[in-house]
Amino acid sequence: MSRPSSLFSHAVLGLAATTLLTTGCYKVGYKTGLPAGGGTHEVTVRHFVWGAAGGGDQDLGAQCPNGVSSVQEQKSFVDQLISGLTGFLYSPTSVVVECAGGGATASNP
């Protein structure tokens, strides 16, 4: 009788260790060259089934009428932990959009 429960406890321990070892954080950013000053918008993008579903588009024109200064996408430790615990069936990502200030134009180097 102790053998099946021992296998189960080893499986749970292995899953927990794998989840903790595969979690981390990452950050990707993009700068357009427009000066900041138009405010920031943060949204959580939800992905499902290993990223095959979900996500969606953001209407940056409505959020930033003067243009976008920068966009940063990041997965925090907590986001990665949630993803690992759900077997990557649900995976949240934080996106921060910084709007350009009024009347800004892009500089071409």
**For the segment 61-74, what is each residue's pLDDT rounded down to a tens digit?**
888 999 999 999 98
Q: How many CB atoms lie within 10 A of CB 82?
A: 16
For residue 43, tell me if it sits in a domain: yes
Phi, psi of 11 (to 5 degrees): -65, -45
CB 101 within 8 A of CB 93: no
| pLDDT for res 68 | 92
For residue 21, tell me if it sits in a domain: yes
For residue 107, tell me if it sits in a domain: no
| pLDDT for res 106 | 45
Q: How many CB atoms lie within 10 A of CB 93?
A: 21
- Note down the domain range covering 92: 2-100
Q: What percent of the chain has pLDDT over 70?
A: 82
C-alpha 73/C-alpha 27 separation (Å) is: 6
Q: Domain tally for the chain?
A: 1
**For the segment 2-42, what is each residue's pLDDT rounded down to a tens digit?**
566 787 887 888 777 776 666 556 778 889 999 999 899 99
| pLDDT for res 4 | 64
C-alpha 53/C-alpha 55 separation (Å) is: 7
